[in-house]
Amino acid sequence: MKSIVVTKEAPGAIGPYSQAVEANGMLFVSGQIPIDPRTGKVVEGDITIQTECVMKNIEAILHAAGYDFSKVVKSTCLLSDMADFTGMNAVYGKYYQNEPPARAAYAVKALPLNVLVEIETIAVK
């Protein structure tokens, strides 16, 4: 059985997908981009500012489903430019200081709304 997770504390989906889906004790958080949930607009700024917004959006979705960062087992980070890896990694690392999850990071040609970063996450209870 699956359950759809929705919270107003994170931006709504900009396409035919859910913010997150929980199934069999696992939470699959869709890729989050730096959209301010209060304004619905992309957060302007460098990779550190945009990554901070993404991580806060992920945190809001995790909390809405009864999880936290300690339950995250896998993340995938998509960057519009691999030169931003160090800045993204510095912010990302603040959220996973102990026992960080498995992770992949890729540079892609472009991201939705021309943002610099998108991160998807899987958590387990």
Provide the domain count of the chain.
Answer: 1
pLDDT value for 14: 83
Dihedral angle sign, alpha carbons of residues 31, 18, 55, 75? negative
pTM: 0.97
| Structure confidence at residue 90 (pLDDT) | 98
- Which uninterrupted H or E stretch holds 62? helix 47-64
Model confidence over 82-99: pLDDT tens digits? Answer: 999 999 999 999 999 999
CATH of the domain at 10: 3.30.1330.40
Contact 67, 102 (CB under 8 A): no
Per-residue pLDDT at 117: 98
- Which among 18, 59, 101 has a CA at the least distance from the CA of 2? 18
Q: Which domain holds residue 97?
A: 2-124
Q: Which residues of the chain have pLDDT under 70?
A: none
